[in-house]
A = this chain, B = another copy of it.
Amino acid sequence: MKLYTYFRSSAAYRVRIALNLKALDYDAIPVHLVRGGGEHLMDEYRAVNPSSLVPAFQDDALTLTQSMAIMEYLEDTYPLVPLLPKDAIGRARVRELAQIVACDIHPLNNLRVLNYLVKHLGQSEEAKTDWYRHWIIEGFRSLEAHLARNACTGSFCYGDSPTIADCYLVPQVFNAQRFNVDLTAYPTIARINSMCVDLPAFKAAHPSRQGDAE
């Protein structure tokens, strides 16, 4: 198995956590998103992923992109350490939480979007940072409310062992902390994040622990 990854990419970070939780060995192939104008934009990487985004995952002849699709594939093919509940309602719940991060927060703070704000809309660094924080705050308010009101929320996003939802939450909190978003207003998110970050699978996936970390 190969994972095309960038140490600070939130989507790659999620997949690294899932691979580690399932104790799957993989080769990390770094794709630098900034150096030389971005290695992800080069023909060599476009041949792997025409979307020019990380991560991309390869398992024998299969090439797969999109973190959720990769994690669902891992769940289907390596079910030994399950990251989704057994029942349909539980699975739906975990997917819902993951998608709140995947669809409502992270896409707005992607590097290509931040670049557009500066290059095409003439926004300042300050306005860019406000934008970044705004969507995290909006998203965390919503995620916190979803977590706080649901009886299935446990030590982790769902129950008392990690699921795909936690693989999404932790990298998003990492991004929030990089941009000094105060987590006080999101006690459930903060509590679950603290629970996760000390686990070996999460630790080993941390951006600072990657071969391409700066």
Contact = CB atoms under 8 A, between A and B. Distances in A.
Listed residue (A52, A95, A130, A149) with the most chain B CB atoms within 10 angstroms of its CB: A95
Interface residues of A, number: 48
A62 to B, nearest CB: 6
Interface string A47-91: 000111100000000101111111011001100000000001101
A117 B108 CA distance: 12
Q: Taking the full assembly, how many copies of this chain does it contain? A: 2
A76 B88 contact: yes
A209 B4 CA distance: 44
Contact of A51 (B53, B89, B131, B142): B142
A52 B116 CA distance: 27
Contacts of A102: 99, 102-103
A40 to B, nearest CB: 12
Contacts of A99: 66-69, 102
Interface of A: 50-53, 62, 64-70, 72-73, 76-77, 88-89, 91-93, 95-96, 99-100, 102-104, 106-108, 112-113, 116-117, 120-121, 123, 127, 130-131, 134, 138, 141-142, 145-146, 149
